[in-house]
Each structure stands twice: as C-alpha cells, then as structure tokens.
Chains A and B, each alone.
Chain A
Amino acid sequence: MDVIETNNLVKRYRDGHLALDRLNLRLDKKITMILGRNGAGKTTLLRILSTQLLPTSGTVRVLGYDIMKDVKRLRGKIVSIPQEVEAMGIITPYEHMQFYLLAREFPKEKIDGIITKTLKQLGLYDFRNKPSDLLSGGMKRKIFVSMALAADAELTFLDEPTVGLDPISRMEVWSAIKKLAGKVIITTHYMEEAKILGEEIALIDSGRLKMQGSPSDLLRSLKGLMRVEGLSKGKMKFKIGGTDISYLKSSEAVSYADRGYDVKQLDLEDLFLLGEVR
C-alpha cells in the first residue's frame, strides 16, 4: 500500500491561483523529500495531505484513508508541522509540548517523560521553562520539531523544518528526523537537506510532479550533461540573476572549459532548473 496516493489533485485558491495542477503522486515508506522552488505547490500539497486544506478536485489517500471520507480516523495517525507556525509568545517550550500532546490525547502521566526526553534530544531542555518570546528563532522552530518527534505518529509531515536554524541546530534536527525514517514527508528547498535525508525525492514545479526517485536515480537521469555558466546555448538554457546557464552534453561542454567558461558537474541543485524543462 502506498503511504500517499493522489489522483488528478487540483487546488485552485479563491483568488484564482492554481497551486496544484492534476498532480499524480505515489509515495511509499521512506524519508521522502518534496522539493520545489518557492510557490511550486509544496506547502499546498502538504496541507491537503495533512487535512488542513480542502482540495478543489481529485482524490487523495493517506495511509490508505480517503482525506475527505475518513478524515477523523486519519487525523489520529498523522502529525503536521506547518511552515509558518509560530510559538505562542509567553508560553514556554514545555507548555507548548504539553498543549500539543494533550490535544493528541496522550495520557497525562506519560507526558512529562516524553517531553523531557524530546527536549533533551533537541537541546531545548535547559530552556524548557523560558517564555518562548525570549528564545531565538531557531529554538522556537525546534519546539515544533520536538512536538512532531514526541507525537511519534504513523506519518509525520514537516514543512520546511530547518528554516532559520544554525548549522548545529540543523544537524540536531536532521538527526532527530532520521529517527522518523519510513514515516516522514518533508518539504524543503535546501538541496543539502534533500541529499542528507532524502531516500526518495519528488520534485514539484507549477503544481505538477516533474521528477521522482532516489537522489542517485535523479542524478543518474542527468548523466551525460554538464552545466556551463556564462553561456546561452541550446534548448536547456536559463538566465539566473543576470548569469547565463546552459546545460550541454559533456563532450560539448568540455570544449567550453578550454575557452574559459565555468563548466561544472551536475548536482541536485540543477534539478530545479532542469525540472522546468523536463
């Protein structure tokens, strides 16, 4: 059984913006990264999958449950941490966790142990009783990652979980996310994050699935191509911030290296651009 299955999923907002355009997606039990540029439709997709947002049309099954018909049963099995969620000012990290775990119907007597363990894991324990207003942006973000870890649901959705975190905090979060292997779906536009965590990557652009596979599969699909910076040539050419970028066959690209162009091996970063033309 697929963990996620969408068929012709469409989301058109009230202002007419088409965020998802007949998206067909199948995801199974891996750490899955949903990758895409800003506005690609990642957050909209995650919000629909986690029952926060109604789709316009199409069908969606999560853990085998229809998100429209079986919503109550599904909600007991998933956790979703929205990208823009903010800590409630005067409330402490410990209280945030309490609040969330009680909403998830955790037994009161078990909550203290779970919170302590999770806060320690993410380096928040020493700040557990400090009003969150007084914490740094990264620490506030970690409160919500802690919630997801503590809830330990069948499936966890994390929308841009490491935005605003320093490198050490980011590594702490990655280490924690790895413990959710097989039951976490993450959106990101950080390639480093996708490379480190992603067992499966789904690249979305303009509300449609462009590519899907393991990082090595996706890189393999780019095999034989190289990036030439400062050159505008061929079908796969782009202008990014005033710089021309062209993707050429390796044999051809190498010749440009001799002429002083900057020629590079492809990396996952290049998926963003190539995803648009494929």
Chain B
Amino acid sequence: MNFRFVYEFGRIYGFNTIRRVASYIISSLLIPLSLLFILDIVSKGQLLPFAIVGGLTSIVVSNALLTMTDAANLRLQWKIQDLLAATKLGPTSYMFGLMLNNLFFALPGIALYIIIGLAYHLFTPLLFAAMVVILILLYIAASSIAFFASFFPEHIRAVWGYTQIISLILGLFPPIFYPYTLLPKDLLYVFLILPSTSASILIQNIFGLTPFFQPALYIFPIEVIICFILAAKFVSWRRK
C-alpha cells in the first residue's frame, strides 16, 4: 500500500476541491439537515435519536457510494486509471485514495450530526468510540462495493443508473432511519446480507435504541472483509 499516495490523492482531489468550491460544504450539510427535519416533524420528536444515528450512517453510506461515480469517471472519462495502470500503484491504494477523497466531502455533515448528538446528550465517549469504529468499517465496506461496481459500466452515463440502484439497496431499504424490529423476521435476514443493515443494527444496539441482535455482531465483520477482498482482488485493473 502506498500510504503517501493515498493521503495526497485524498488531499488533492478531495480536500482541495472543497476548498475551491465552497458550495460542496453547503450541499453536504443540506441533505442531513433535511432528513433530520423531516424525521423529527413526522415522528413528532419520537424518532429523533434514530434520525441522528441514522443520519450519520446515511452520510457515511452515501459518500462511500460516491466512490463509484468518481472511479468510473476517472476510468471512463478522464482515463486516469489507464495512466496509473502503468505504475506500481495497485487498485487498493487507488481505492483508499478515493475513499479518503470522499470522506472529506462527508466531514461537514458528520461534524454537524456529532454536534447535534452531543447537544441531545446522545453520545458518551465509549458509545461514540464504538460508533466511530462501526462507521469506519461500514465506510470501507460500502466504498469497496462502489469501487467494485464501478468496473462494470462501459459508458459513463450508465454509471448513474447503477449508482441509483446501489444507493437504494444500501441506503434506503436497510433499517437506517427506523428500528430494525419493524422489519418482518424473514426480511430482516435477507437484508442482513447488506453491510449497512448489520451496521445500523449494531449502532441502534449500542445506543440502546433497539434490543441486542447478536447475528449482526458476527455478520458485519465478515461482510466488511468480503467486500474489501472483492474490490482489492477482483477488479480488472488492466482492461480486457
């Protein structure tokens, strides 16, 4: 792994872009604030804790999925991947660079949610640390899925369709903004194949919002490893 490249790729392509185009900060804050607002109004404040932890999860997933459009754009439109293919850099360093880049875009939203969570006394240091670990692992898993999926479309416009589908599957259906207990048991087990489901359940569990669900604890790390291996080993870095 070329750690210096990962850092510089994230800094140059992510941080510097945000620095130059301030509207990214506003747009990154608008979506979480809107979700928080809607959920708070609809549930009359009842689901606010879900809105806060769900909002954090949602930001992590949606920004991780941006890796797909970025990677596809760099491969299909700008041909930057072709440029890098003839270097010692492998897909793993490249993927982590893209992940760090998109993390910069997520940071304003994450910071906002953390401030709101602290204001509502939702976080203790231990719970917060546990949540951060889960979210980092979820970010790696979702980015890996996005990176892997980015290698299938042959045309840049096809990428948008794929991204919508994956966003829906990973970001909307799983119990991110609602208690997992509302899901029928059969459906819950089906949804468990998605890392965002097991991560959301674990986060709800550690904040005491829902009863402890042990399978999620075992399944989640396995999902992260499988997603990562899929992206690091099975992408065709060299074109066919």
Contacts and interface: CB of A to CB of B under 8 A. Distances in A.
Interface in B66-85: 74, 77-80, 82-85
Interface residues of A, number: 36
A53 B20 CA distance: 35
Contacts of B80: 85, 88
Contacts of A78: 86
Contact of A90 (B20, B79, B240): B20
Given A86-B78, A88-B78, A52 B5 contact: no
A68 to B, nearest CB: 10
B13 to A, nearest CB: 7
A91 B14 CA distance: 10
Contacts of B85: 50-52, 75, 80
A86 B9 CA distance: 17
B12 interface: yes
B2 interface: yes
Given A54-B240, A82-B79, A90-B17, A75 B8 contact: no
Contacts of B21: 90
A185 interface: no
Interface string A130-167: 01000000000000100100000000010000000000
A102 B8 contact: yes
9 contacts: A50-B85, A52-B85, A53-B240, A79-B86, A86-B79, A91-B17, A98-B12, A131-B20, A157-B86
Interface residues of B, number: 28
Contacts, number: 93
A105 interface: yes
Contact of A85 (B4, B16, B83): B83
Given A47-B239, A82-B82, A105-B2, A88 B13 contact: yes
A51 B86 CA distance: 6
Given A82-B79, A98-B12, A102-B5, A75 B240 contact: no
Given A52-B238, A91-B12, A102-B5, A80 B88 contact: no
A192 to B, nearest CB: 26
Interface in B151-192: none
B9 A99 contact: yes
Interface in B208-240: 238-240
Given A88-B13, A90-B21, A80 B86 contact: yes
B89 interface: yes
Contacts of A84: 79, 82
Contacts of A86: 77-79
Nearest to B90: A72
A30 interface: no
Interface in A29-75: 47, 50-54, 71-72, 75
A104 interface: yes
B239 A105 contact: no
B23 interface: no
With most chain A CB atoms within 10 A of its CB, the pick from B74, B84, B87 is: B87
A220 interface: no
Closest 6 CB pairs of A and B: A80-B86, A85-B79, A86-B78, A50-B86, A82-B82, A52-B85
Contact of B8 (A47, A50, A82, A98): A98
Interface string B21-64: 10000000000000000000000000000000000000000000
Contacts of B84: 103
A262 interface: no
With most chain B CB atoms within 10 A of its CB, the pick from A75, A102, A147 is: A102
B83 A82 contact: yes
A155 B20 CA distance: 36
A224 interface: no
A76 B83 contact: no
A72 B91 CA distance: 13
